[in-house]
Structure 1
Amino acid sequence: MASFSGYLPYAFALIIAIPFLVLLRQFVHSYITLKNQEIKLLSVKSNSENKAHSYERMTLFLERMKPSNIIQRFDKDLAAHEFIFLTEKTINDEFEYNSSQQLYLTKGSWKNIVDSKNALIDLLHKTYDGLNGNTNLEEFKTIFLMNYMEGDDYIAATIEDLRREILIIT
């Protein structure tokens, strides 16, 4: 019995420590669970913010690409072909800068944006080709605007599609 009585203080300490260890384990487990839920909530919030930001950036890109805004860019002393070159370069540079936004947009929206960009660049070239290169810049801009207005307003349609989608997402 002498050997058992030597372990009695340790057994008593163990009996007292077990409930505290169980409570500590439950506390740590619930704390970790709450932190994981918080991280998930923040990632969902961050993802929806990224999506909203992407829709805003691409809407701004489309607004800047509207012919009424394009014709106001660059020096008035340029030749029409120089204006087309600089405009196309600017559009393509800005498009490449924003190309990472496709991660947050639907495939349909991204396709509409690409199609709008390409259609506008095509219209620039078709307008110039239709004039056989024999025009000054102001004349070219006027005819370019008229050609755009005669067709479908695909840029406004794409912006409207983006508006509808962002309302569904948020």
Structure 2
Amino acid sequence: MIDSPYLPYAFVLLIAVPFLFLFRHFVFNFISLKNQELKMQAIKGSSEQRIHAYERLTLYLERLKPANLVTKFDPNLAVHEFLFLTEKTINEEFEYNASQQLYLSKISWSNVVTSKNNVIHLLHKTYDSISNDATLQEFKTVFLMNYVNGEDYISQTLDDLRKENLIIN
């Protein structure tokens, strides 16, 4: 047998090299899998945020429907007080949900804004069309009739949001 002082070192090196190679391979695979996991979590988080945005805006649009607006507030308010409080509530809730536009298409967000503006416009148009001595109940009735006789832009916006949500998810 070869009697060399380097033989034990060569033997250790021969044993260690495959282990070092396998360890290096394991570390790179582990890092790669962790990166994929982080990417998947980011995608999942974005998807959850998008779903949450659709839910919040759907709820906003449901609250924006005139049938739901007329049930708010004290029935003993004057018409101009009801108009002021309703418009204030619509705008405050809109501002609260404005950040959700990040998760919608530009068209869908534009439809939400248009729906809000149309309801406010309809409120003012109805207020301008009634007599000064009209009661709140009369105002609400005329407001609802104007909405029913016009285009149902809120339901159309809701349908568009549902379709877009199905396409994305």
TM-score by length of 2: 0.93
| Residue matched to 2:146 | 147
Q: Which amino acid aligns with 2:81?
A: E
CA displacement, residues 107-166 of structure 1 (integer Å, 9 cap, x when unaligned): 000000000000100110111011143311111000000111111000001001111111
TM-fit CA distance, 1:47: 1.4
- Is residue 2:27 matched to residue 1:28? yes
| Residue matched to 1:85 | 84
TM-fit CA distance, 1:67: 0.2
Q: 1: CA distance between counterparts of 2:49 and 2:150?
A: 33
- Is residue 2:35 matched to residue 1:14? no
| Residue matched to 2:161 | 162
Alignment of structure 1 residues 63-82 onto 2, 5 Å: 63-82=62-81
TM-fit CA distance, 1:43: 1.6
Q: Secondary structure at the match of 1:73?
A: coil
More divergent stretch after superposition (73-82 vs 29-38): 29-38
Q: 2: CA distance between counterparts of 1:83 and 1:133?
A: 14
TM-fit CA distance, 1:13: 2.3
The percentage of aligned residue pairs carrying the same residue is 62
TM-fit CA distance, 1:100: 0.7
TM-fit CA distance, 1:6: 4.8
Q: Secondary structure at the match of 2:13?
A: helix
Q: Secondary structure at the match of 1:78?
A: coil
The answer for unaligned runs of 5 or more in structure 1 is: none
Q: 1: CA distance between counterparts of 2:128 and 2:83?
A: 11
TM-score by length of 1: 0.93
| Residue matched to 2:135 | 136
Q: Secondary structure at the match of 2:151?
A: coil
Q: 2: CA distance between counterparts of 1:98 and 1:153?
A: 22
Q: 2: CA distance between counterparts of 1:134 and 1:118?
A: 26
Q: 2: CA distance between counterparts of 1:7 and 1:71?
A: 94
Q: How big is the alpha-carbon RMSD for the aligned residues of Structure 1 and Structure 2?
A: 1.5
Count of matched residue pairs: 167
The answer for unaligned runs of 5 or more in structure 2 is: none
Q: 2: CA distance between counterparts of 1:104 and 1:79?
A: 39
